[in-house]
Amino acid sequence: MSRQRMYVPVIMLASILVLWGCPKKAEVTTAPEQQKQAAPSVAPAQEAPAVEQKAEPLKEEAKPEEPKERAAAVSAGLQPIYFDFDKSFIRNDARSTMQANAEWLKANPNVKIRIEGNCDERGTKEYNQALGQRRATSAKKYLTDLGISAKRITLISYGKEKPICSEHTEECWQKNRRDDFVAATE
């Protein structure tokens, strides 16, 4: 009888330790899913000055566009979406924006996009990295459900590292809880 009584506390203690163990950290990436897509957009920017300098004596008006300028012009058709505090699901008011973004992507089949997940300043850096990743993943799933190929979409989470508003108000925090859609042509 005394052995059975001894086993009960030992089993309970072992169960508590197992359940109390360190929580698993969410896998968070701060780089796009596919590195080969990020490299081409960087490489032309480094080569562009050499091309421009050679082309200037021949024709000053025909300067090639910088990759950032080209991406900004292309991104004009894509709008950001916003999220509720500590949530990663697509809100009802963002569904029409997502539909419009999907239609724009269908009309521009050669454009690939990067979805950038962002958060407000509240919470730890690690938590916001994971939340930004979940937000970007949620937007990617929504676009693929609307018929956009997943191969055209990469994800990145900036967490709270890229705020567009720095005031400590709910209105400002709402602006920072967003997914940005950045387009690039290949």
Q: What is the pLDDT of residues 94-139, one digit of tens each?
A: 999 999 999 999 999 999 999 999 998 888 999 999 999 999 999 9
Q: Which two tokens stand for residue 72?
A: 């900004």
Task: Please check the confidence at residue 179 and state whether its pLDDT lies above 80.
Answer: yes
Q: Which two tokens stand for residue 75?
A: 């991104």
Instruction: Over range 14-41, report the average pLDDT.
Output: 48
Q: How many CA atoms lie within 13 A of 111 on its CB side?
A: 24
Q: Which two tokens stand for residue 45?
A: 């920017």
Task: Please check the confidence at residue 9 and state whether its pLDDT lies above 70.
Answer: yes
Q: Which CATH class is domain 58-186?
A: alpha beta
**Total number of residues shown for the chain:** 186
Whether the full predicted model's pTM is greater than 0.75, yes or no, is no
In 3D space, the residue among 166, 177, 31 whose CA is nearest the CA of residue 118 turns out to be: 177
pLDDT greater at residue 16 or residue 177: 177
